[in-house]
Amino acid sequence: MSTDEKTGLLFPGQGSQAVGMGRDLAERFSEARETFEEADDALGFALSRVMWEGPDEELTLTRNAQPALLVHSAAVWRVLERAGGVPAVAAAGHSLGEFSAYFAAGSLSFADAVRTVRRRGEVMFEAGQARPGTMAAVLGLDDAVVEGVCREASTDDSVVVPANFNSPGQVVVSGDVDAVQRASALLVSAGAKKVTGLNVSGAFHSPLMAAAETALQEHLASIEVRDPAFPVVSNVTATPVTTGDEARLLLVQQLTSAVSWTASIRTLLQLGVTRFVEIGSGKVLTGMLKRIDPAAAGRGTPLGTAEAIEAYLQAQA
């Protein structure tokens, strides 16, 4: 890699988990193995067993998937740090991944980060039980069209909103079940290539998550959130966050706000990022780069396996 490359870090969110995640890291790197052990101690149960052995139904539970993804990202990050680190100029994380980004930036201690996202998963699930909702992925429509349909499909007591602006032509909507159903039919009529219901336990990133905000706010108020060592682009505002106080506020707002991922990547590009490294499970975010900016195609490197990390470190040597 050229010495004038500017690296931006990407941290995956819920949906990137898979049974077996991180096991090869623990077998190959002592830093990773210690990270999984610390997570188990912090949570008081063997999260590593759930990550490595499943079953998938247990790993996919929101309260497990969120800490699992953060721990995997943290294990990768610590291995890279021990090898000399990645000179990042900024970072962004998709939903849950934003907490992983703040851990990497030094804003959250590892134990606090793990417990926080476990709590986040719990309160999101509870909010989904209190007011059941759902989500649907929409392909092939402009953001403005999706936003307009959501307004049309919403009523005073039944709402649907855009929840994830993942890339041009790929938006997720979220809300009350009947409102999402109304919106889905309207989106098809508006020319969507595909509208697919998602198997989720609640209407994430929508007003239906309001009940979770207070609990997360109280939890974040009880822990230290330091200023990040490098800017973390907020899901809510798609702007760089440089203070712990702002991070604390926006991480709460994130529960009921859309994930502005397309805009976040464009912000990283405006900050001068020329190379992206995806830290953790899967390669979903790397795959989105080309759709967000064709010039970014081929600039992403997913680092989630021992093999990928070893190849990356060898290339830096």
Specify the DSSP class assigned to residue 254: G
Out of 205, 234, 257, 264, pick the active-site residue: 205
Quick check: 90 and 275 in contact, CB under 8 A?
no
- To the query of whether residue 219 is one of the catalytic residues in this protein, the response is no
Q: Rounded to whole angstroms, how far apart are CA atoms 39 and 223?
A: 17
Out of 16, 48, 95, 201, pick the active-site residue: 95
Give the rounded distance of the alpha carbon of 51 from its chain centre. Answer: 17
**Residue 206 to residues 12, 160, 164: CA-CA distances in angstroms?**
20, 8, 10
DSSP E strands in the chain: the ranges are 7-11, 88-93, 133-139, 160-167, 170-176, 194-198, 232-233, 240-241, 275-279, 300-303
- Per the DSSP assignment, residues forming a β-bridge with 9 are 91, 277
Gyration radius of the chain over CA positions: 19
Active-site annotation, residues: 95, 205
